[in-house]
Amino acid sequence: MPSQQLSQSSATRGQVLFSGRASIGSLTLACAAPCPWWRHELCLASPCAGACSPGVECRRGRAALWTLVVGCPWWWLPWLRTVVALNWCSCSHLHLAPIGWPAARLAEARLWISVHGIEAWRPLDGLRRLALSRADLLLPVSRITAARLRSQLGVQCPSLTLLPNTYDAEDFSPGHASVALLERYGLFPSQLVVFSLCRLSRGDHAKHLDRLDTAMVKLRRSHPNLMLLIGGDGDDRARLLALVEDLGLQGFVLLPGRIADYELADHYRLASVFALPSEKEGFGILFLEALGCRRPVLAGNRDGSVDPLDDGRFGLLVDPDQPLAQHLRALLERCSQPLCFDPSGLSAAVASR
């Protein structure tokens, strides 16, 4: 591609990337647009360019790092050619920063690093900290991640620009409950369902799924047919099943395991409320997906969840350490914010945000 044409297309992409609907994924793929022969490799080398599989831990960042350095060293050549052509190296995940930084140095290119969530909240090791501090621009997905970066890097923190995640408005759109899912879970069409989705990790109790279980005990006194559906898999599933049995909620709390990507939108549409009272979300694409399906959302008020919910305008933000029953009841009985129960207005507001 001639340099003049490359420059023009880069400027056009810049206008698109930083419009109101920009996202980490669009940034990553745009890096490859001038070089179609490299597009496939760039996607492989960029973990989390799209949403990770729900309920499954994403290790693609470390895998890609190991593959690029040890397993497939010939990938460096086209990558460096792309970096030189664009004068711009973009890492779509912090795990790739130790590769992106030397590549940018060799090519004398600008380095941009996208930063998502808790991987940047924990104390940074030497290589990642060095790469972040030497970047030309950091792209945190939320305000809390930006604040954590400033706190960790101090005076060495480079410029920051918020670049939030987005969702696919075509896939996650309003619709009727799936008959197949109703039959699978033994539900009737008008039954109230609270849906939650996350990785069930024994070492991560910041999702506060236990509080959803205990809230069900109180909620079923006024809503005896209420069901709680917790999607996702992991090593904490057995403990959660035992807790359900201890609370006497067998048959009213279902843990079906990992939910396939092609069925995810239908699970949102099955729900009366989507609830994830977490305190360690870097952003929370799940909330946008639920809102896109016109479902009321409950989220925690201590993490990146406040960004997709626009500080509570699009959903109910709660203290995850407090009892959840009254908040869930307000959503189930439509006693919360008016926008939550204006499907057309909610969907349009989220899409335009």
State how far the alpha carbon of 336 is from the alpha carbons of 48, 189, 192, 312, 339, in Å.
Answer: 34, 23, 16, 11, 9
DSSP state of 226: -
- Within 8 A by CB and 6+ apart from 260, the residues are none
- Give the residue, 122 or 301, on which the prediction is more confident: 301
Question: Is pLDDT of 167 > 80?
Answer: yes
Band the pLDDT of 82: cuts 50, 70, 90.
Answer: low
Band the pLDDT of 282: cuts 50, 70, 90.
Answer: very high
Domain ranges of the chain: 3-160, 179-352
CA distance 128 to 133: 9
pLDDT digits (tens, 9 = 90+) for 93-113: 888 888 888 878 877 888 889
Select from 3.40.50.2000, 3.40.1360.10, 3.10.129.10, 3.90.79.10 the CATH code of 179-352: 3.40.50.2000
The answer to whether 250 and 271 are in contact (CB under 8 A) is no
The answer to whether 301 and 295 are in contact (CB under 8 A) is no
pTM: 0.77
CATH number of 3-160: 3.40.50
According to DSSP H, which parts of the chain are helical? 3-17, 24-32, 36-44, 60-66, 76-86, 97-107, 118-121, 126-134, 143-153, 179-185, 209-222, 237-246, 261-270, 285-292, 325-332, 343-352
Fold identical between 3-160 and 179-352? yes
CA distance 210 to 196: 12
- Predicted pLDDT at 32: 38
